[in-house]
């Protein structure tokens, strides 16, 4: 198996993450029940897909640094790191903002509101204020968290390369203290805003970095069938843990402010579940790696960024345009409409994401090769 194949499960996990998020946001419109009652918790807790994105981001950005250090080679330059992150994130991000503003999806009460909101988004600090948090597109908040972590990453890497476990433990502690402090001081005021900012998610990035560290440290050691079976079992244990945690979250849905309150103490457990799933899969049996890294999930992972940027806006535009049409006053009472809308929203946004990825994102990413900046790009990018 080549290195790229061994890391294919990460792209598969990215595909799972985007499917969870899209399902969640479409479900918020249709309230379409899951195919089986035992799966009912999945669409309602599908925002966990964003947490999985953060975990994968921690893995991916640290992996080339860890791999280079392990091989005794120079680590990527910070200029190359900044360029790679910029060309991947910013052009598609800005384009989505322009499209949504030009089409009227994002609207503002005054020129001042528009200027302040756009400026906050352009410097990725729009999550700091409630007035700008979702003022252009509700999903863009997670891009602010990503970029803020990228800015901190040189400092985090400086600590991590000296003591991986101590640094990861410190980041988990920071996240827990931040979330518990927010819950204690500001439960019914600014707590949701605080929970949804970088300190509240930094344990997920730490778990991803620790998974990359574990993979780089041990992946070249000779392993037999027993070790692969044990690793696969660890991945299954992570799936079971994620399943139980998500079910527990779903059971708390009648509690006041339930998503935020539950995540105060449980988000780190989600991070641990992702660590078990990803690390166990990367060391697991080939058949299991092929299941997680199958072509369909890899394709979904490849277009996930443009799918993420537009899916909620397109779904809401379809609803506003009565597409597909519905005759009842409340469309969610019509099971046929629920199914038809879900199918249309998934299909249309999938086509849109594929087109933008192939026609806009990929040509920009390929620029780095012509500019001579691609020699140190990780296999997972």
pLDDT digit string, tens, across residues 358-373:
999 999 988 854 444 4
The structural domains of the chain, with segments of one domain joined by +, span 3-31+43-370
pLDDT over threshold 50, residue 1:
no
Task: Please give the pLDDT value at position 111.
Answer: 95
Task: Please give the pLDDT value at position 264.
Answer: 97
Please tell me the distance from the alpha carbon of residue 208 to that of residue 156, in angstroms, as a whole number: 13
pLDDT over threshold 60, residue 2:
no
Angle (CA) 222-223-228 rounded to 5° is 155
Task: Please give the pLDDT value at position 316.
Answer: 97
pLDDT over threshold 80, residue 35:
yes
Q: Which residues contact 360 (CB under 8 A, 6 or more apart)?
A: 91, 92, 95, 306
% residues pLDDT > 70 (the chain) = 94
% residues pLDDT > 90 (the chain) = 89
Task: Please give the pLDDT value at position 368.
Answer: 59
The three-state DSSP-derived secondary structure of the chain is CCHHHHCHHHHHHHHHHHHHHHHHHHHHHHCCCCCCHHHCHHHHCCCHHHHHHHHHHHHHHHHHHHHHHHCCCCCCCHHHHHHHHHHHHHHHHHHHHHHHHHCCCCCCCCHHHHHHHHHHHHCCCHHHCHHHHCCCCHHHHHHHHHHHHHHHHHHHHHHHCCCHHHHHHHHHHHHHHHHHHHHHHCCCCCHHHHHCCHHHCHHHHHHHHHHHHHHHHHCCCCCCHHHHHHHHHHHHHHHHHHHHHHHHHHHCCCCCCHHHHHHHHHHHHHHHHHHHHHHHHHCCCHHHHHHHCCHHHHHHHHCHHHHHHHHHHHHHHHHHCCCCCCCCCCHHHCHHHHHHHHHHHHHHHHHHHHHHHHHHHHHHHHHHHHCCCCCCCCCCC
Please tell me the distance from the alpha carbon of residue 193 to that of residue 195, in angstroms, as a whole number: 6
pLDDT over threshold 50, residue 4:
no
Mean pLDDT of the region 39-52: 97
Q: What confidence tier does 224 reach under pLDDT thresholds 50, 70, 90? A: confident
| Sign of the torsion formed by the C-alpha atoms of 240, 245, 246 and 247 | positive
- What number of other Cβ atoms are within 10 A of residue 155's Cβ? 9
Task: Please give the pLDDT value at position 371.
Answer: 46
pLDDT digit string, tens, across residues 225-258:
999 999 999 999 999 999 999 999 999 999 999 9
> C-alpha 273: how far from its chain's center?
15
pLDDT digit string, tens, across residues 344-358:
999 999 999 999 999
Please tell me the distance from the alpha carbon of residue 298 to that of residue 304, in angstroms, as a whole number: 10
Please tell me the distance from the alpha carbon of residue 130 to that of residue 267, in angstroms, as a whole number: 22
Q: What confidence tier does 6 reach under pLDDT thresholds 50, 70, 90? A: low
pLDDT over threshold 80, residue 328:
no
Of 133-142, 147-156, 168-177, 218-227, which range is least confident?
Answer: 218-227
Mean pLDDT of the region 268-293: 97
Mean pLDDT of the region 31-41: 94
List phi, psi (to 5°) of 362.
Answer: -65, -45
Task: Please give the pLDDT value at position 379.
Answer: 40
- Residues 146/129, Cβ–Cβ less than 8 Å: no
Task: Please give the pLDDT value at position 375.
Answer: 41
Q: Which residues contact 122 (CB under 8 A, 6 or more apart)?
A: 94
> C-alpha 240: how far from its chain's center?
20
Please tell me the distance from the alpha carbon of residue 298 to that of residue 7, in angstroms, as a whole number: 11
């Amino acid at each position: 198996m080549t290195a790229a194949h061994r890391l294919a499960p990460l792209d598969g996990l990215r595909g799972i993450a985007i499917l969870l998020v899209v399902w969640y946001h479409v479900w918020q419109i249709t309230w379409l029940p899951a195919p089986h009652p035992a799966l009912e918790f999945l669409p309602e807790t599908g925002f966990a897909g964003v947490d999985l994105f953060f975990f994968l981001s921690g893995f991916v950005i640290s992996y080339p640094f860890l791999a280079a250090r392990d091989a005794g080679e120079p680590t990527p330059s910070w200029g190359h790191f900044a360029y790679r992150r910029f060309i991947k994130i910013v052009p598609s991000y800005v384009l989505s903002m322009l499209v949504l503003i030009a089409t009227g999806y994002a609207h503002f009460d005054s020129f001042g509101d528009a200027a302040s909101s756009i400026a906050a988004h352009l410097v990725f600090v729009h999550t700091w204020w409630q007035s700008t948090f979702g003022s252009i597109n509700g999903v863009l908040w997670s891009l602010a968290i990503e970029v803020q972590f990228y800015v901190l990453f040189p400092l985090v890497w400086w600590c991590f390369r000296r003591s991986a476990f101590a640094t990861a433990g410190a980041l988990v502690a920071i996240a827990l203290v931040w979330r518990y402090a927010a819950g204690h001081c500001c439960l019914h005021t600014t707590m949701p805003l605080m929970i949804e900012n970088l300190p509240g998610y930094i344990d997920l990035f730490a778990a991803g970095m620790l998974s990359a560290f574990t993979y780089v440290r041990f992946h070249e050691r000779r392993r037999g069938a027993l070790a692969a079976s044990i690793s696969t079992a660890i991945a299954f244990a992570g799936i079971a843990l994620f399943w139980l945690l998500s079910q527990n979250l779903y059971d708390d849905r009648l509690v006041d402010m339930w998503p935020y309150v539950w995540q105060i103490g449980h988000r780190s457990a989600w991070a641990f579940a992702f660590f078990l799933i990803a690390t166990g899969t990367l060391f697991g049996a080939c058949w299991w790696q092929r299941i997680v890294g199958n072509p369909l999930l890899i394709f979904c992972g490849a277009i996930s960024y443009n799918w993420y940027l537009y899916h909620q806006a397109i779904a809401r535009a379809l609803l506003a345009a009565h597409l597909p049409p519905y005759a009842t006053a409340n469309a969610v009472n019509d099971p046929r409409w629920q199914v038809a809308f879900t199918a249309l929203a998934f299909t249309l946004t999938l086509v849109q994401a594929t087109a933008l990825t192939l026609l806009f994102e990929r040509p920009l990413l390929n620029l780095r090769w012509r500019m001579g900046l691609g020699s140190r790009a990780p296999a997972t990018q």
